[in-house]
């Protein structure tokens, strides 16, 4: 997919407008998440170096699926697991279990239900059939990555975006989500450390990310 800088700036600006409207309506500050889609494959949270040689050797994550997961959800989880395994080719043996407070990857609405996470809490109710959502959130203060859609095709599309394209905008050799953040920062004259990308929407069989959620933190309403 061809991505111009003008396109990246306009995409980011569209969602910043939505966020600033929310800030104007309230008085509470917006805390940026510790992990976002731009940094999800960076070493330090999910991918760890536990022996100090600077190479990733541990995947600190737990998968949550439904009690009796469908073949589609299992396939989606396998795609994600394969990507995480690729990012940790120096993994140490024997394999050990993740800690009980380790980040979670929730697959599909059944996985969300096991966590007690409602579809409305992450905006899943707004999706059409065949659409999928990748969201970084917290459930009972545990970092949680949700890959889900209203149907199997949507969930698989979300998993494929995570496993095959992130943190790129789409083309594995093209622009990255950090380019969106940098463009938004330039456009708004805001430090990039105050900008986060917590979610992305995609459609099964699509040729691009449909929509990115961009959160920008301002010190005061007067700065908007």
Count the residues in the chain: 224
Per-residue pLDDT of the chain (224 residues; tens, 9 = 90+): 334 434 444 443 334 433 443 444 344 444 555 689 999 999 988 999 988 889 898 899 999 999 999 999 999 999 999 999 999 877 766 666 767 788 999 999 999 999 999 999 999 999 999 999 999 999 999 999 999 999 999 999 999 999 999 999 999 899 999 999 999 999 989 999 889 999 999 999 999 999 999 988 877 666 55
Q: Report if residue 179 sits inside a domain.
A: yes
196 DSSP β-pair partners: 215
Q: Report if residue 210 sits inside a domain.
A: yes
Q: Report if residue 223 sits inside a domain.
A: no
**Distance separating alpha carbons of residues 139 and 142, to the nearest angstrom:** 5
Q: pTM of the predicted model, to two decimals?
A: 0.83
Q: Report if residue 115 sits inside a domain.
A: yes
**Distance separating alpha carbons of residues 83 and 99, to the nearest angstrom:** 20
In terms of residue numbers, what domain contains 58? 5-218
Cα dihedral across residues 41, 44, 46, 51: positive or negative:
positive
Strands of the sheet containing 131-139, edge to edge, are: 62-64, 104-107, 142-148, 131-139, 195-203, 211-216
Q: Report if residue 52 sits inside a domain.
A: yes
Q: Write down the pLDDT at residue 31.
A: 56
Q: Report if residue 147 sits inside a domain.
A: yes
**Distance separating alpha carbons of residues 111 and 98, to the nearest angstrom:** 18
**Distance separating alpha carbons of residues 31 and 15, to the nearest angstrom:** 17
**Distance separating alpha carbons of residues 219 and 221, to the nearest angstrom:** 7
Q: Report if residue 98 sits inside a domain.
A: yes
Number of domains in the chain: 1
């Amino acid at each position: 997919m061809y991505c111009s800088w003008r396109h990246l700036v306009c995409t980011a600006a569209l969602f910043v407008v939505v966020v600033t409207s929310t800030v104007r309506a309230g008085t509470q500050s917006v805390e940026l998440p510790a992990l976002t889609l731009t940094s999800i494959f960076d070493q330090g949270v999910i991918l760890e170096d536990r022996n100090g040689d600077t190479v990733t050797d541990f995947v600190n994550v737990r998968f949550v699926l439904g009690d009796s997961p469908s073949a589609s959800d299992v396939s989606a989880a396998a795609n994600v697991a394969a990507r995480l395994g690729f990012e940790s080719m120096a993994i140490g043996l024997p394999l050990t279990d993740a800690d009980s407070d380790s980040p979670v990857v929730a697959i599909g609405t059944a996985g969300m239900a096991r966590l007690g996470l409602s579809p409305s809490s992450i905006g899943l109710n707004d999706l059409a059939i065949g659409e999928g959502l990748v969201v970084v959130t917290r459930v009972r203060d545990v970092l949680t990555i949700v890959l889900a859609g209203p149907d199997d095709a949507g969930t698989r599309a979300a998993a494929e975006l995570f496993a095959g394209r992130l943190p790129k905008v789409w083309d594995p050799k093209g622009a990255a989500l950090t380019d969106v953040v940098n463009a938004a920062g330039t456009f708004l004259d805001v430090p990039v450390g105050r900008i986060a990308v917590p979610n992305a929407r995609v459609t099964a069989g699509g040729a691009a990310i449909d929509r990115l959620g961009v959160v920008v933190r301002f010190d005061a309403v007067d700065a908007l």
